Chain A
Amino acid sequence: MARSSRRGRNRKVNSMPIIIGVLGILVVVLAGMLFFKPKARSVEPEPFNISRYREDGSRFASVGNRYVLEGKVESIETHGSNRMVAVSIRGNRNELLPLLLLGTPPSGVNITRGDKFIFDVSCRTGRDSAGNEVKGVLIVNDVKTK
């Protein structure tokens, strides 16, 4: 320890490269921030993380709450004018995501089984006939054909 201190006191430190490096990093970070800067207050839907949804769906209702999904309709369950659509996500056909379509979508697209669509969805909490919560239900806002 004493030897180290003695050596430190006797040695001349060249701090220029460090300063240049730090500055370089700052430049890169700033450039990246500028490049990846989100388009402020954009209404564009967010990408959907199915794994997270499976864990706690209702959490999706609080963050932006607008998502775009592209998938193939695997099954449709009709109840009155509402339809429950099971969609397989692109790249993972074995993963089915349940989407609730209330009435007719604004785009007027006719949803058929076996076809691919782009779904604009948001997560909501409903109430059953007894007034109990029905949490984390993905409701289709609009549909587009792909």
Chain B
Amino acid sequence: MKTLQYFSLLPLVLMTATGQMPDSFDASGRSAQTQNGVQNNDPMRIGETPPPQVFGMELPLLDPSSDTVSYGGAKFDVGNNALVRERFEKFLTQEPDDSEQARLYRKQLQQILDYTERHSGSGSKIGSKTLVKIGMGLYKLSDYPADGDQGGALASAIVSALDALRANRRRDKATAELDAEIDQLIDKTNKLNNRNTSRGKGGGAAGDIKNPNTGNVGMNNTFLIAANTTKIAEKKTQQGANNAASQASLAVARLNYQGLAVWFLLQRRYDHAVIGARVYRHIFRDGDVTMNLDKDSDAYKLFTGISGVPPSINAVDTMASNLRSEVDKSMDAVYGALAQNKLGVATNRLIAAVAVGDYMQSVVSFPAEHRKRIDAYWQLRKRALTTLNARDYDGVEAIAAEMKKMDVDFDDSTLLSYTSARKRQSNFALRSARKAFEAGNDEEFRRLATEAAVIWPRNPNLDKGEQEIARVDAFEPVMEEFRRLLARKEFRNIYNERERFQVVAADNELKKQYTEVVEFVGATDIMLASLKTGSETDRTVGPCLAYEQMTLLMKKDERYSADKVFTDAYGQYAAQAHDFVQALTRAEDCEKRAEYGSALSCYFRARCFFPKSTMAQDGIERMTKIIISATY
């Protein structure tokens, strides 16, 4: 039990001694580096996304569920913080005790401290009356519930120590009386010895005829001497027993008292610890202030760990006084920071004060309105951490903005840089996923979409993407129909229902084909309209021109042959330009049969009907070259 309590205080004492408090509650993580218990590998975290990188620095994340902080790739156990955090949150929700009873308690406590301070100088001794006053005052402190009967315990310890000392004094007195009795016995014994000796020299030996009683007297003296010697021995034994009892009683009283003083220190009852330590010297006035602690005990290590010297009651006084001072300074800093609207600093200082000295009067009386302000900020900070852990970056940014309003010193740059980077990372992954989806790479799409969701689970684009996928799935029958028409080269049908087939654009490949079809048929219609106008303007050459252009197009792109509108128009122009068409057709036929003379003649004839005919001109040139270069 004692060990547990020690561990609960030790880090706080150490940190207060250096004027620092653990910042493990927030995301700075600096103090977390100083914590022990580094865990490089947490099997529970295997497979999870590694800690985020912010400009080469890993942002520490406190996991409230496990009280660990991630920093530098390692996880730091900050389990002790849970205790402090719990106490701090309890403190924030409590009303300050400013009752009449509380004020009286504080007044009485201060009076006792004043008594001890007044008599703490060297050579100044507290009289028994003062000690009685202190004891009475301590007993009165116990009437106040928040004292936890600690005052009574200290008073009882003082009384017990005084009782032990009183018993020792009684034993000392008895020892002194025994000394006197022993002295008397020794005197008597000496006298008896002297008498025996003088009687022996004057013939007073046994059997003297003149004085027949002389021998009997000597005999009696000898018996008396022996009896006295026995009594002296008995009294000396009794004296030794008294001394031993006094020493044992003193040791027990001292040990109990010292234990209580250490207990007060460990329990953060610094006022009681100071009173106990200062009164100690006036109870045990032998000047021995060394504490008899087991060298293997945690309490012993606590003292030697800080000062490096053996523990003493003076060390308890010093430590308790320093901690009281630190707490008061922290509270002054809290008030100062609140006045400047620096809630972050105020919160940190208050955590320090509460963690170290939650029973201190300056802490207990902290006003309710200030508690509420800090509680609001503290809750926001907690929410920021949990929201960050939940990777809700929009939420984090909103909280950061709110915190900035509350705390003029709040630096959100690292947080915002981090969230911004993570959001971008998620969106990039999502964009790649979209490309993979459009390319029909389902596996890659699933991987990238999962990656995007893991990085930023609440990415709004995820919902959009999901909706789009659902929409695309709903369009699948239309896409299938589009593919079917495409395979049949029914471009005109696609074009006529191009509005309905627009949805195929969700598929990148189909989108490309859709665009090509729509552009092709659209351009064909424009061209046909133009040719129609031309043929209506010049009914002789117009149809020839239309026919020739359409023929050339069909030779170049087979899609024209598949378009009924095109082929219908083509047939119509062929009929209108019958002579030209016939000449060309015959020319081509003759050319195939190597009747080059006839072919050339036909091309000439075709050119007569349409002087600007490319086909005819090409044929003429081609045939001329063959004929003129042959041998006859």
Given contacts A54-B605, A95-B605, A96-B608, contact A126 B630 (CB under 8 A): yes
Residues of the B chain whose Cβ atoms lie less than 8 Å from the Cβ of A129? 629
Contact call B594/A137, Cβ cutoff below 8 A? no
CB contacts (< 8 Å) of A77 on chain B: these are 624, 628
Task: Please tell me if B11 contacts chain A, counting CB pairs below 8 Å.
Answer: no
Which residues of B have CB within 8 Å of A137? 596-597, 627, 630, 632
B628: nearest residue on chain A (CB-CB)? A79
Q: Please name the residue on chain A nearest to B589 by beta carbon.
A: A55
Least Cβ–Cβ distance between B537 and chain A, in angstroms: 22
Cβ–Cβ contact B595 & A84, under 8 A: no
CB distance from A121 to the nearest CB of B (A): 11
A82 pairs with B628, CB closer than 8 A? yes
B629 near A57: Cβ-Cβ < 8 Å:
no
Interface size on A, residues (CB 8 A): 35
Best-surrounded residue of B602, B604, B608 (most CB of chain A within 10 A): B604
Cβ of A98 < 8 Å from any Cβ of B?
yes
Number of A-B residue pairs having CB atoms within 8 Å of each other in the complex: 96
The A125-143 residues at the B interface (CB cut-off 8 A) are: 125-129, 132-139
Closest to A79 in B: B628
Residue of B597, B601, B604, B624 ringed by the most chain A CB atoms within 10 A: B597
B593 at the binding interface (Cβ < 8 Å): yes
Among B595, B607, B624, point to the contact of A58 (Cβ < 8 A): B595
A103-146 to B contact mask, C-beta < 8 Å, 1/0: 00000000000000000000111111100111111110000000
Q: Report how far A124 CA is from B628 CA in the complex, Å.
A: 13
Known A-B contacts A53-B601, A57-B598, A138-B597; A102 and B632 likewise in contact (beta carbons under 8 Å): yes
**Residue pair B593, A135 in contact (C-beta under 8 Å):** yes
- B residues 254-268 near A (Cβ < 8 Å) are none
Q: Which of A36-56 contact B (CB under 8 A)?
A: 50, 53-56
CB distance from B513 to the nearest CB of A (A): 44
- A residues near B602, Cβ cutoff 8 Å: 54
Interface of chain B residues 590 through 632 with chain A (CB within 8 A): 590, 593-598, 600-602, 604-605, 607-608, 623-624, 626-632
What residues of chain A lie closer than 8 Å to B594, measured between beta carbons?
A: 132-135
Contact (A96, B601) CB under 8 Å given A57-B595, A134-B594, A139-B632: yes
Asked if B140 is at the interface (CB within 8 A of a chain A CB), the reply is no
Return B603 CB to nearest CB of chain A, in Å.
9
A84 in contact with B628 given A95-B605, A97-B604 (CB within 8 Å): yes
Collect the chain B residues with CB atoms within 8 Å of residue A4's CB.
Answer: none
Q: Please report which residues of chain B, range 549-591, place their CB below 8 angstroms from some CB of chain A when the two chains form the complex.
A: 586, 590
Interface of A is mostly: strand
Among A98, A124, A127, A128, contact of B624 (Cβ-Cβ < 8 Å) = A98
A94 at the interface (CB under 8 A from B): yes
Is A128 in contact with B626, judged by CB distance below 8 angstroms? yes
Interface residue? A100 (CB, 8 A): yes
From the candidates B598, B624, B631, name the one contacting A53 in the complex (CB within 8 A): B598
Q: In the complex, how many angstroms separate the beta carbon of A66 from the nearest chain B beta carbon?
A: 15
How close is A41's CB to chain B, nearest CB, in angstroms?
26
Cβ of A86 within 8 Å of any chain B Cβ, yes or no, is yes
- CB A48 to nearest CB in B, in angstroms, measures 11
The one of B596, B598, B608 that contacts A55, using a Cβ cutoff of 8 Å: B598
Q: A53-B598, A135-B594 are in contact. Are A98 and B632 (CB under 8 A)?
A: no
Q: How far is the CA of A83 from the CA of B624 in the complex (A)?
A: 10
Q: Which residue of B lies closest to A99 (CB)?
A: B597
A94 vs B604: C-alpha distance in the bound complex, in angstroms? 9
Q: Please give the distance in Å from A89's CB to the nearest CB on chain B.
A: 11
Contact B608–A136 (Cβ < 8 Å): no
Contacts of B586 in A (CB 8 A): 54-55
> CA separation between A128 and B627, bound complex, in Å?
8
Task: State A61–B327 Cα separation when bound (angstroms).
Answer: 130
* CA gap between A2 and B42 in the complex, in Å: 132
Name the one of A86, A95, A123, A132 contacting B597, with C-beta atoms under 8 angstroms.
A123
Q: Mark interface residues in A9-34 (1 if CB within 8 Å of B CB, else 0).
A: 00000000000000000000000000
Q: Contact between A128 and B630 (Cβ–Cβ < 8 Å)?
A: yes
| Residue in A94, A98, A102, A135 whose CB lies within 8 Å of B595 | A135
- The answer for the CA separation of A56 and B595 in the assembled complex, in Å, is 7
| Distance from B600 Cβ to chain A, minimum over Cβ atoms (Å) | 5
A125 to B632 alpha-carbon distance, docked (Å): 7
B581 to chain A, nearest CB (A): 14
Docked pose: A97 CA to B601 CA in angstroms? 6
Task: Report B39 CB to chain A, min CB distance, Å.
Answer: 88
A134 partner, pick from B604, B605, B608, B630, beta carbons under 8 A: B630
User: Which residue from chain B places its CB closest to the CB of A100 in the assembled complex?
Assistant: B627
Contacts of A123 in B (CB 8 A): 597
Task: Determine if B590 and A57 form an interchain contact, defined as CB atoms under 8 angstroms apart.
Answer: yes
Q: Is the CB of A127 within 8 A of B631?
A: yes
Interface centre among B594, B601, B626, B632 (most CB of A within 10 A): B601
A58-B595, A134-B596 given as contacts; is B601 within 8 A of A98 (CB)? yes
Contact call B629/A128, Cβ cutoff below 8 A: yes
- A57 close to B632 (CB less than 8 A): no
Beta-carbon nearest neighbor of A102 in chain B: B632
A141 to chain B: closest CB distance in Å? 12
| A55-B586, A133-B594, A136-B595 known; A98-B600 Cβ under 8 A | yes
User: Mind listing 23 A-B residue pairs with CB under 8 Å?
Assistant: A50-B601, A53-B598, A54-B605, A57-B597, A86-B604, A98-B601, A98-B623, A100-B627, A123-B597, A126-B631, A126-B632, A127-B631, A128-B626, A128-B631, A134-B594, A134-B596, A134-B597, A134-B630, A135-B595, A135-B596, A135-B598, A136-B597, A138-B597
Top 5 A-B residue pairs of the complex, sorted by shortest distance between their CB atoms: A136-B597, A126-B630, A57-B598, A96-B604, A126-B632
Beyond known contacts A57-B601, A133-B594: 8 more, CB 8 A cutoff? A50-B601, A54-B605, A94-B605, A96-B608, A123-B597, A126-B627, A126-B630, A139-B632
